[in-house]
Amino acid sequence: MFTASDWKDYEVLDTGDGEKLERWGNVILRRPDPQAIWPKQKSAIWDKVDAHYHRSTHGGGEWEFFKRLPEKWTVNYKDLSFYVRPTGFKHTGLFPEQAVNWDWMRRLIEKRGGRVKVLNLFGYTGGATLACAKAGAHVTHVDAAKGMVQWAGENRKLSKIPEENVRWIVDDALKFVAREARRGNFYDGILMDPPSYGRGPGGEIWKLENELFRLVEACAGVLSEKPLFVLVNSYTTGLQPAVLSNILRMTVSARFGGVLSAEEVVLPVTQGGVLPCGASGRWSSIEV
């Protein structure tokens, strides 16, 4: 398993009965998690929360607040800083389990040295972008949601990363990669965090299991002659790590050789055990 165990400002306190109890800095949130099908371990601590997201039986849901929270607040991971806040669809603007992948990419970039070009697709609020930029890479950050790109830009300022280290793009990921291929723009590292399901601006339907191979194959076409890494994340239930491993083997390893691994991504739980948070497939040209 890839375990994100180095957080100080974030903690999964307990899980169970379809929920997780989390500490974000000094704020305690209670949110749904369909993976947590076991009973809660210590029921008393679940009552001491600052906000609770209730899922609706008709889809969606809403937050119930037990104290006045700031509009947004800051959490830190090592030398990175992020704004978080409860959003309309249960999220906070950060996926803390991805810190284990941030560290992996940083080690690779620092070991390679020099100017590494990185492409972050479905970049969201920029966790991976900031991690790579802090390690010395120049990052092209792509997300179709303008609001998420703006949020990522705020996190860049908060983390004191020079503006010239990141290029911000509001666009469809696959269309952007196709244009980069035509322009002859190549990258040493590529990562992607695609959604399980979505709709494009023209009503196009995106289903990860139908589109992922085509996307990774297109990305392999914009890798540099001596690429450093490719990272594919999946939160889709049913897409096992072996699926990601097979896709990377057929699209990247077959051409470049290198080191391939794929595992569940998990967060440690203070009351015991781990919380599964999807899977990651990693390819790299060197060991770290």
Per-residue pLDDT tens for 5-47?
Answer: 999 999 999 999 999 999 999 999 999 999 999 999 878 899 8
Q: Establish if 258 belongs to a structural domain.
A: yes
Segment 138-157, tens digit of pLDDT: 999 999 999 999 999 999 99
Same domain, 54 and 104: no
For residues 272 and 39, what is the distance between their CA atoms, to the nearest angstrom?
A: 12
Q: Which domain holds residue 227?
A: 96-284
- Choose the final residue of a domain: 43, 63, 84: 84
Same domain, 141 and 242: yes
Q: Establish if 111 belongs to a structural domain.
A: yes
Q: Establish if 184 belongs to a structural domain.
A: yes
Same domain, 148 and 241: yes
Same domain, 78 and 107: no
pLDDT at 238: 67
Same domain, 100 and 80: no
Segment 84-111, tens digit of pLDDT: 999 988 899 999 999 999 999 999 999 9
Contact status, residue 195 vs residue 212, Cβ threshold 8 Å: no
pLDDT at 31: 96
Q: What is the CATH number of the domain that holds 121?
A: 3.40.50.150
Q: Establish if 40 belongs to a structural domain.
A: yes
Stated length of the chain:
288
Q: Establish if 252 belongs to a structural domain.
A: yes
Contact status, residue 224 vs residue 187, Cβ threshold 8 Å: yes
Same domain, 29 and 108: no
> How many CB atoms are closer than 10 A to CB 82?
27
pLDDT category of residue 201 using cuts at 50, 70 and 90: low
Same domain, 115 and 76: no
Q: Establish if 90 belongs to a structural domain.
A: no
**Two tokens, residue 186:** 């190549």
Phi then psi for residue 8, to 5 deg, are: -115, -35
Same domain, 8 and 140: no
Beta carbons within 8 Å of 147's beta carbon, 6+ residues apart:
none
Segment 47-56, tens digit of pLDDT: 899 999 998 8
Same domain, 198 and 250: yes
- Choose the final residue of a domain: 55, 84, 113: 84
Q: What is the CATH number of the domain that holds 17?
A: 2.60.40.1180
**Two tokens, residue 113:** 């040295």
Same domain, 165 and 256: yes
For residue 67, the 8-state DSSP code is: S
Closest to 187 measured CA to CA, from 107, 126, 105, 101: 105
